[in-house]
Amino acid sequence: MSDLVFFHDNEPVTSTPIIAAETRNDHASVIKLVRNYAADLEVFGPLEFKTSTFETSGGVQRREIAFLNAAQCAFVLARI
């Protein structure tokens, strides 16, 4: 099992793929939720997005992920 919380730029965060996996939701739904509530989430700190790659049976895919601090994560979890 991977860590649920890790340090990114010296801050404890989690990521949208972790939230999706742990809540048994698809990542597309979680990242859409983050995008829809971006202005509200930024009240708790800056949002950071990046593009990452991951393996599928069809080959390497790319997706956008977001890093969320504890308050941002709680906000998103309350809306899943």
Does the pLDDT of residue 63 top 50, yes or no? Answer: yes
Question: What pLDDT is stored for residue 2 in this prediction?
Answer: 62
Tens digit of each residue's pLDDT (9 = 90 or more) over 2-58:
689 999 999 999 999 999 999 999 999 999 999 999 999 999 999 999 999 988 898
Mean pLDDT of 54-64: 91
DSSP code for 57: T
Query: Model-level pTM?
Result: 0.88
Does the pLDDT of residue 1 top 50, yes or no? Answer: no
Q: What phi and psi, each to the nearest 5 degrees, are found at residue 56?
A: -130, 175
Does the pLDDT of residue 62 top 50, yes or no? Answer: yes
- On whether the CB atoms of residues 23 and 80 are closer than 8 A, the answer is yes
Q: Which residues, 6 or more positions from 43, have their beta carbon under 8 angstroms from its beta carbon?
A: none
Rounded CA separation 15/56 (Å):
19
